[in-house]
Amino acid sequence: MFKRILMVMLVSCFLPVLAHAAMWSLNAGARSGGGSVQVDNATPLTVTDGIVTTYYSSNIPVTVTVRPNTGYVISQVNYNGTTIYSPTQTTYTVNGPSSQNVYAWFSLQSFGLRATVTDGTGGTVSSPSGVTGLTYGTVFSTPKVFTFTPSSSSYAVSSITGIPAEAVQNPATPLAGQSVTVTFPAGYTVTSSVALSGTFTAQIPIANAGNPQTAFMNSTVVLDGSSSVPGVSGISSYQWSQVSGPAVTLLNANSVQASFIAESPGTYSFSLTLMPGGSTSTTAVSVFDSYAVAARSQCYNCHIAASVGVTSNVFGNWSSSGHKSKGVLCARCHVGADTGGHPGRIVSGSVSPITFDFNYASAGSGNFCVTCHTPSILTDFAASKHSIRAGAASCSFCHVQGVHNPKAACTECHKIDNAYGLVWPPAGLTFHSSFTGSENVCKVCHTTHNPKVLSIKTSCP
Ligand code: HEC
Ligand code: HEC
Ligand code: HEC
Ligand code: HEC
Ligand code: HEC
Ligand code: HEC
């Protein structure tokens, strides 16, 4: 009896199972738009297909592939009753004997445009948080612009990575200190996230083409870039080129110093470009055919105006001076007057018209003339009898017209009928009678500023 009951139980409990041993089912389907669920190699199921049940009679594993459309992501998968959010898994291998299910939901992928810089000290980028919340197929109605700005003129944008083909970098080859834009134009269609990354190169060389120059006809003008500041990696190349003015042939245009021969008067401009980085600097050269024309053009045309308040005959004095005939232009003394530092540190009263001593706040004091001329003038003069006679008048004892016409003539005093009662010619030295006029022939034999000392040792006529 017991045995029979057991049999019934066996039959009732196990027989059905055994009879359907290889029978199991799979429910699969896409539960939202934006993707599909594919069972083995069957036609992928979209949301419109609903849930599809497939029956299997054998225990051979089945592969279910969850596939988001372009621009979508899998937001969740329900796999045999368990929900997995934002899964990274796209294939599920399912098998009996219990029934199985794979349902998938999709959502639009969120894209962003972001921009970063690799080194914050070299520069910055506008709106680093960029544009977020974009989805596949978003079309820009207005352009989106990212601007990479070097922190100073010593930096240049050396590269920007991650620029998609439809976006435009401008300028393509940035110079030092130059901002660079990356523009996503109106009509740009979002298909993926974009991460721009800008790199700034530190301390590219800074070009300095030198101060403006004044030159005269047929002289060789040297353009000097040696005041340029090298970058961390030095200066790899110099490139001089002419910007304006009568065409010249530049020699050594790829060197720190270039030169040309000034063959016609005019205003010339030249630029120096340094690599790496492309820093440029320009300088001007004014070529004149006479010293007087140069001084007029540079100073006088302006200073002749009453409003400038210069009352002394500066130009007239300079015009008749040895400085003018030797090409010592106004700006040689008024340093900076022609290069933006006008009027420079020399103004009325900064140099004594009696001693020619200067007293500049920025440069102490000393003798102005010997900043260019030999300092022995001062010791010579101090040792001479002239210095005693000149007394407080010192230099202006002989240089009576002041700094703008420093000419002096020994024969102003050493002549017949002079104000000092000097005997002329000197007693016993009658050959001096032939030395007259303002030629300063005396310098040939006498040391100018200490004439007791003869400058020649040979016998005299
Ligand atoms: C040899 C050097 C030298 C040269 C060259 C020279 N100056 Fe001067 N200049 C001076 C000094 C030094 C002073 C200040 C002493 C003084 O007040 O006279 C001065 C003063 C002046 C002053 C202000 C005082 C005044 O007299 O009105 C003007 C303006 C001036 N110079 C213009 C010129 C002009 C323009 C030229 C060229 C035509 C020129 N200088 C050439 C040295 C020079
Ligand atoms: C654009 C017109 C202009 C030019 C060009 C110009 N100056 Fe002047 N300069 C002035 C004016 C205006 C003043 C008076 C106001 C001031 O001190 O800035 C002056 C003042 C000066 C003074 C100071 C005068 C004083 O009383 O101390 C000197 C020196 C001088 N100029 C020299 C020069 C020399 C040298 C040049 C040529 C290399 C030159 N300037 C070119 C307009 C000019
Ligand atoms: C900016 C530089 C400079 C300054 C400052 C200067 N000179 Fe001169 N001077 C020259 C030059 C350059 C010559 C021409 C020298 C030559 O040809 O050998 C010259 C020539 C002269 C001459 C004519 C010499 C000759 O051979 O005909 C005299 C005189 C003279 N200077 C006096 C002075 C006096 C005085 C002072 C001060 C008030 C002075 N200079 C300041 C540059 C300067
Ligand atoms: C006794 C007269 C006399 C006195 C004082 C005098 N000089 Fe001269 N100096 C001359 C003569 C003359 C010349 C030559 C001028 C020429 O060649 O045109 C001259 C020329 C110069 C020159 C042009 C360079 C040279 O050696 O020829 C300078 C600069 C100069 N003097 C500066 C001074 C200074 C600065 C003082 C005052 C410390 C001074 N002089 C005092 C007579 C004098
Ligand atoms: C401003 C007037 C003046 C000018 C310019 C002048 N001298 Fe004299 N010179 C004198 C006087 C005054 C004496 C007398 C000095 C004394 O004995 O105290 C003198 C003395 C001398 C002596 C003799 C005294 C000595 O130093 O041993 C010589 C040499 C001389 N001068 C040469 C020259 C020469 C060279 C020049 C031009 C470079 C010149 N002088 C320009 C006024 C001048
Ligand atoms: C060819 C050369 C020569 C020339 C140029 C010359 N001298 Fe002399 N001078 C001499 C000689 C040499 C002496 C004598 C020096 C001595 O005895 O120590 C002399 C002496 C003098 C003396 C007298 C010195 C004293 O101790 O009393 C004066 C002043 C003098 N010369 C002025 C001038 C003047 C001013 C000129 C220019 C106008 C001039 N000399 C040109 C050669 C020259």
What is the predicted pLDDT for the residue at 230?
77
User: How much is the pLDDT for 156?
Assistant: 85
Q: How confident is the model at residue 12 (pLDDT cuts 50, 70, 90)?
A: very low
Q: What is the pLDDT of residue 21?
A: 54
Instruction: Kindly state if the Cβ of 345 falls inside 6 Å of ligand 6.
Output: no
Q: Tens digits of per-residue pLDDT, 153-188?
A: 778 898 999 999 999 999 998 887 899 999 999 999
Ligand nearest to the CA of 451: 5
Q: Is the pLDDT of residue 252 over 90?
A: yes
Tokens 């007693």 label which residue? Answer: 427
Do 242 and 224 form a contact (C-beta atoms < 8 A)?
no
* Long-range CB contact pairs, 397-401, < 8 A, 24+: 399/356, 401/317, 401/321
Give 280-314 pLDDT, tens digit per residue.
999 999 999 998 888 888 888 777 765 565 556 78
Candidate CATH numbers 2.60.120, 1.10.287, 3.90.550, 2.60.40; the one for domain 2-108: 2.60.40
pLDDT, tens digit, 9 for 90 and up, residues 379-389: 999 999 999 99
d(CA 282, CA 361): 31
Could you identify the atom of ligand 3 that is nearest to the CA of residue 402? 38
So what's the pLDDT on residue 18?
44
CATH superfamily, with its number, for domain 213-289? Immunoglobulins (2.60.40.10)
**What per-residue confidence (pLDDT) applies to 300?**
81
By residue count, the chain amounts to 461
Q: Which residue has the tokens 């009753």?
A: 81
Distance CA 425, CA 433 (A): 6
Looking only at Cα atoms, what is the longest distance across the chain?
177
Cis peptide leading into residue 164 (ω within 30°): no
Which residues is 117 bridged to in the sheet? 198
Instruction: Choose one of 381, 397, 401, 414 to mutate for the ligand 5 pocket test, by most ligand atoms within 8 angstroms of C-beta.
Output: 414
Residue 143: the pLDDT is 92
Q: What is the per-residue pLDDT across 391-413, written as a single tens digit (0 to 9) for each?
A: 888 999 999 988 999 999 999 99
What is the helix, strand, coil percentage profile of the chain, to 5? 20, 35, 50
Average confidence score pLDDT of the chain: 87
Q: Do 2-108 and 213-289 have matching folds?
A: yes
| pLDDT at site 255 | 97
How far apart are alpha carbons 250 and 243 in whole angstroms?
Answer: 12
Consecutive H or E run containing 257: strand 257-261
The whole-number average pLDDT for the span 57-74 is 93
| Confidence tier at 340 by pLDDT (50, 70, 90) | low
Indicate the domain borders of the chain: 2-108, 110-201, 213-289, 290-344, 345-461
Residue 16 has pLDDT above 90, yes or no: no
Q: In what order do the strands lie in the sheet with 91-94?
A: 35-39, 62-68, 91-94
Mutate-to-test residue for ligand 5 from 377, 384, 385, highest number of ligand atoms within 8 A of CB: 385
Ligand closest to the CA atom of residue 391? 4
Cβ–ligand 2 contact at 338 (below 6 Å): yes
Residue 263 pLDDT:
93
Q: Is 0.75 surpassed by the pTM of this model? A: no
- Those residues whose C-beta lies under 8 Å from the C-beta of residue 236, and which sit 6 or more positions away, are 275, 276
135 lines ligand 2 (CB under 6 A): no
- pLDDT score, position 459: 54
Q: What gap in Å lies between CA 92 and CA 106, rounded to an integer?
A: 16
- What percent of the chain is predicted at pLDDT more than 90? 59
59 lines ligand 1 (CB under 6 A): no
Note the pLDDT of residue 154.
77
DSSP string computed for 305-361: SGGG---S-HHHHHHTSHHHHTT--HHHHSTTTTTTSTT-S--TTSB-TTT-EEEET
